[in-house]
């Protein structure tokens, strides 16, 4: 780190920012970031189940935000927690989009611990700096805001726990103004205590069609309640991420830096899985596939560069048993030289710049959306993903990546797909380019903003 930092004085601002990125990538091990939340990496992009929003307007988007009509509207955002996981970060992005057009934005956090940790401190400050008002969830002021607000956004199913205990008899008055943003699809969220008011809110906004359908099924079959009008909102990439993704010099520096820190060479091939390490995200099955792909390559005597698997998202303190299982597997199969574990990091851009292929191996119903998938595509990476959940709505099989089945049946297919991309350089690069084009046409912040705008308009009209 010392070397690049010393050079920064003579470099333009862009470089300075880049060095900060590098710096935080190698040291900010502590904070996570990504999908800590359940099977859903949250990010949005709106596509109404009814309104089909086709090819959002590109011309003129710089001058005028599609959210312009929200100017001077009062919006209350209810977060279940304040952390660096996907859900709260997404809600913060919405807060800033709304501030950008002059909405009055008030933020409350239902499960805020009484002592302020570093993460909460820095996130709250970031919001205050951008003019978001932060209130205590249980104060009278929060209740008054809910009653006065033009719009209330509840973020995640769990945020439903705020309604009865705090609003009490005002609940019926507030329900028709609520847009409920849902990012999860695990069974334990289908609890009456969280979602009993769901049928009576103005609308639900969900990150993928698959998840929306699943909610419709589960609420009907398990709870006997009906979903309100539901909008599907795919997520988009932030401007910050796109800036790095589209800066070839920045990417090269990050790539060299990360590769050096991992001890791999420029010409080596890196397959990475970037998710909190847990069984649901499928790191175990990925390593099995990777091991199998090495065996296939050896058996067929294929000529490929040295191959590496990178598992970004380790946290030994949280998933100790599973983490140990992964390391045991690596040891037993003597692939230590080919597998690298990287602690959770706030910043995924350096890793996306450093690798060649992203593996999205979320199991069971897959990702709710899986924001890392569109982030990788922005970096022109092909994606090897499970054919489940939001991934199927992002990755075009055979064009921007290759899909494999979830579970043990998928191990062999993923192994073959790894070999396929390792041996066909041209195919790999073409898929990456196609993925990038897809992101540019569907998964950018401005697409997300115009889709959210369409939903908010509908909700306000009611």
159-182 burial, b at 16+ Cβ within 10 Å, e below that, comes to bbbbbeebbeeeeeebbebbbbbb
Question: What residues pair up with 48 in beta bridges, in sequence order?
Answer: 231
Nearest residue (CB) to ligand NAG, 389 versus 435: 389
Stretch near ligand NAG under the rule CB under 6 A, chosen from 65-73, 161-169, 227-235, 315-323? 315-323
Nearest residue (CB) to ligand NAG, 95 versus 195: 195
Minimum CB separation of residue 35 from ligand NAG in Å reads 18
Please report which helix (H) or strand (E) contains residue 324, including its range. helix 320-332
Measured CA to CA in angstroms, residue 159 lies from 108, 180, 232 at distances of 10, 9, 19
Nearest residue (CB) to ligand NAG, 214 versus 329: 214
Q: Contact, 284 vs 311, CB < 8 A?
A: no
Instruction: Scan residues 270-309 and list those touching ligand NAG (CB under 6 A).
Output: none
Residue 320 in contact with ligand NAG, rule: CB under 6 A: no
Torsion sign across C-alpha atoms 81, 70, 49, 147: positive
Structure tokens at 341: 């574990």
Residues 6+ apart with CB under 8 A from 45: 233, 234, 235, 236, 442, 443, 447, 448, 451
Determine which residue in the list 124, 150, 213, 268 makes contact with ligand NAG, applying CB under 6 A. Answer: 213
Nearest residue (CB) to ligand NAG, 4 versus 102: 4
Minimum CB separation of residue 366 from ligand NAG in Å reads 10
Minimum CB separation of residue 195 from ligand NAG in Å reads 17
Return the ∠ at Cα 222 (arms to 220 and 225), rounded to 5°: 40
Residue 316 in contact with ligand NAG, rule: CB under 6 A: yes
Nearest residue (CB) to ligand NAG, 236 versus 313: 313
Q: Contact, 202 vs 462, CB < 8 A?
A: yes
Nearest residue (CB) to ligand NAG, 31 versus 200: 31
Under rule CB under 6 A, how many of the chain's residues touch ligand NAG? 9
Minimum CB separation of residue 61 from ligand NAG in Å reads 33
Segments of 184-330 assigned E as strands: 203-206, 230-232, 269-274, 307-314
Q: How far apart are CA 108 and CA 144, in angstroms?
A: 13
204-215 burial, b at 16+ Cβ within 10 Å, e below that, comes to bbbbbbbbbebb
Minimum CB separation of residue 136 from ligand NAG in Å reads 32
Minimum CB separation of residue 217 from ligand NAG in Å reads 4
Residue 343 in contact with ligand NAG, rule: CB under 6 A: yes
Determine which residue in the list 214, 420, 423, 446 makes contact with ligand NAG, applying CB under 6 A. Answer: 214
Minimum CB separation of residue 62 from ligand NAG in Å reads 38
Nearest residue (CB) to ligand NAG, 319 versus 450: 319
Q: How far apart are CA 286 and CA 359, in angstroms?
A: 8
Instruction: Scan residues 19-78 and list those touching ligand NAG (CB under 6 A).
Output: 29
Minimum CB separation of residue 27 from ligand NAG in Å reads 8
Binding site for ligand NAG (CB under 6 A): 29, 210, 213-214, 217, 315-317, 343
């Amino acid at each position: 780190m010392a070397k690049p930092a010393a050079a920064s004085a003579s470099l333009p601002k862009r470089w300075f920012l880049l060095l900060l990125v590098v710096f935080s990538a190698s040291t900010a091990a502590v904070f996570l970031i990504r999908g800590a939340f359940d099977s859903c990496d949250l990010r949005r992009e709106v596509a109404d189940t009814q309104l089909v929003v086709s090819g959002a307007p590109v011309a003129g988007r710089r001058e005028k935000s599609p959210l312009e009509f929200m100017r001077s509207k009062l919006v209350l955002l209810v977060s279940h927690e304040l952390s660096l996981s996907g859900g709260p970060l997404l809600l913060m992005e919405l807060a800033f989009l709304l501030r950008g057009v002059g909405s009055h934005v008030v933020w409350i956090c239902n499960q805020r611990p009484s002592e302020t940790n570093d993460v909460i401190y820095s996130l709250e400050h970031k919001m205050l700096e951008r003019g978001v008002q932060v209130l205590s969830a249980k104060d009278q002021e929060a209740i008054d805001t809910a009653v006065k607000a033009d719009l209330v956004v509840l973020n995640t199913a769990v945020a439903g726990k705020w309604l009865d205990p705090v609003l009490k008899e005002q609940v019926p008055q507030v329900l028709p103004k609520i847009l409920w943003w849902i990012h999860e699809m695990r069974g334990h969220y289908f609890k009456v205590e969280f979602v009993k008011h769901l049928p009576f809110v103005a609308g639900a906004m969900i990150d993928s069609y698959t998840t929306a359908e699943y909610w419709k099924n589960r609420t009907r079959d398990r709870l006997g309640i009906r979903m309100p009008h539901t909008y599907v909102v795919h997520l988009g990439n932030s401007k910050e991420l796109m800036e790095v993704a589209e800066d070839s010099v920045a990417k090269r520096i990050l790539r060299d830096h990360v590769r050096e820190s991992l001890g791999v060479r420029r010409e080596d091939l890196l397959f990475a899985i970037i998710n909190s390490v847990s069984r649901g995200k499928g790191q175990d099955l990925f390593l099995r596939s990777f091991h199998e792909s090495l065996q296939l390559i050896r058996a067929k005597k294929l000529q490929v560069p040295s191959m590496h698997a990178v598992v970004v998202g380790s946290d030994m303190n949280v998933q100790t048993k599973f983490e140990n299982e992964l390391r045991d597997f690596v040891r037993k199969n003597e692939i230590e030289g080919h597998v690298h574990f990287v602690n959770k990091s706030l910043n995924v851009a350096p890793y996306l710049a450093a690798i060649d292929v992203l593996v999205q191996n979320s199991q069971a119903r897959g990702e709710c959306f899986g924001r890392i998938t569109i982030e990788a595509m922005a970096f022109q990476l092909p994606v090897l993903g499970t054919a489940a959940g939001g991934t199927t709505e992002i990755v075009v099989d055979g064009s921007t990546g290759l899909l494999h089945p979830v579970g043990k049946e998928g191990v062999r297919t993923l192994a073959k797909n790894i070999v396929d991309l390792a041996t066909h350089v041209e195919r790999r690069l073409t898929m990456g380019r196609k993925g990038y084009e897809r992101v540019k046409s569907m998964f950018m912040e401005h697409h997300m903003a115009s889709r959210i705008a369409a939903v908010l308009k509908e909700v306000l009209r009611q």
